[in-house]
Amino acid sequence: MSGNIELLSTTLAAAKAEDRAALIAYLPAGFPTVDGGIEAVKAVIAGGADVVEIGLPHSDPVLDGPVIQTADDIALRGGVRIADVMRTVREAYEATGVPILVMTYWNPIDRYGVERFTAELAEAGGAGCILPDLPVQESALWREHADKHGLATVFVVAPSSQDARLATITAAGSGFVYAASLMGVTGTRASVGAQAQELVGRTRATTDLPVCVGLGVSDADQAAEVAGFADGVIVGSAFVKAMLDAPDEAAGLDAVRSLAGELAQGVRKR
């Protein structure tokens, strides 16, 4: 079975045709439980998310701030496995038809096996992977198998990335480019910052791929600001925090559905 890279591309193109940015939501698999995590993904899609990233919980993340680390710890203590991540992708995709990616560090894939991981992700209906710590120059094996299975390879660029480096990264990637709005880890912030707009401009000069901005967006006003210059707005910590702060799972699902609705309105305001 081929993965859903084409669905990802058409979804982002459809948002652009509506003269708006896409809303991309992030939630970790297995949080608060595997079943609860699947329901949370369905809830953010019901609220208005166009694309969803499923986080593969990791014990030593380099990009994730304290909120997502807390959720990852809950998932790991609950015994989440890669099979649960694949199940989350499969059930979310089958229920909604929305493109679902996995965001993961390289070590779990390396241990699991690149061919096995890509084949299973494609079979589950996944659209691709975001790989924040895989250097482009070491990505040939991954890209070979991702291409074979119809999966996007999304790399992360940062404000510190020089123009030549941006060109190298975007030439190797597919699906979209993940532009980190600032130096540091994930988390909600009072301001997304001018660095993000400059980075999007420099990245667009190297590629025709959509450029989507993450790190820091937490409300509709920030989503609207970023939607003014980016092709997609990526929100993670705000969704996870809404789940963590909720008194029970049902309230958490209501909270993320409501937040997705507010953010979906935000990306349409620009």
Catalytic site residues? 53, 64
Helix (H) or strand (E) holding 15, with range, is helix 5-17
Could you tell me how many residues make up the chain?
A: 270
C-alpha to C-alpha distance for 60 and 75, rounded to whole angstroms:
13
Cis ω before 159 (30° cut-off from 0): no
Query: Which structure tokens are listed for 202?
Result: 């420099």
Handedness of CA 255, 129, 186, 216 (dihedral sign): negative
Nearest-angstrom CA–CA distance, 241 and 4: 29
Contact call for residues 97 and 125 (beta carbons, < 8 A): no
Residue at 96: amino acid letter: T
